[in-house]
Amino acid sequence: QKEVEQNSGPLSVPEGAIASLNCTYSDRGSQSFFWYRQYSGKSPELIMFIYSNGDKEDGRFTAQLNKASQYVSLLIRDSQPSDSATYLCAVRGSNTGKLIFGQGTTLQVKP
């Protein structure tokens, strides 16, 4: 079992719709959770991080964490073509500073 799992996609949504990206992790002691966006040929950039159960909202983005289910998600409201990218989920385990990344989900927003 991979430590951090994501559906590779592609996930295709129409412009204006809600995109839902999901991630599961295996280390129950994981402390904090990150969503990065990576455009083709570019480096990852942080969108959001979350470390408490529940929802965290920032503009059009909402991160959701459920530690009991070992599940974290990212919702993108009013999706735009410029949101088309690969979204990487990353998890920081207990007693460590390193991040373990999933393989990423490719999102395509169709105009």
Partner 1 sequence: GAGVSQSPSNKVTEKGKDVELRCDPISGHTALYWYRQRLGQGLEFLIYFQGNSAPDKSGLPSDRFSAERTGESVSTLTIQRTQQEDSAVYLCASSESYEQYFGPGTRLTVT
The verdict on 45 binding partner 1 (CB under 8 A) reads yes
Residue 22 phi, psi (nearest 5) = -125, 155
- The closest of 23, 70, 14, 26 to 48, measured between CA atoms, is 23
> Closer CB to partner 1, residue 18 or residue 51?
51
Question: Is 104 one of the binding residues for partner 1 (CB under 8 A)?
Answer: yes
From 10-18, 53-61, 68-76, 91-99, give the range in contact with partner 1 by CB under 8 A. Answer: 91-99
| Residue among 16 and 92 whose Cβ is closer to partner 1 | 92
Exposure string over 56-93, b if 16+ CB within 10 A, otherwise e: eeeeebbbbbebeebebbbbbeebeeebbbbbbbbbbb
Could you say whether residue 61 binds partner 1 (CB under 8 A)? no
Q: Which of 52, 57, 96, 110 binds partner 1 (CB under 8 A)?
A: 96
- Quote the CA–CA distance of 22 and 85 in Å, as a whole number: 15
Residues that bind partner 1 (CB under 8 A): 4, 6, 32, 34, 42-46, 49, 88, 90, 96-104
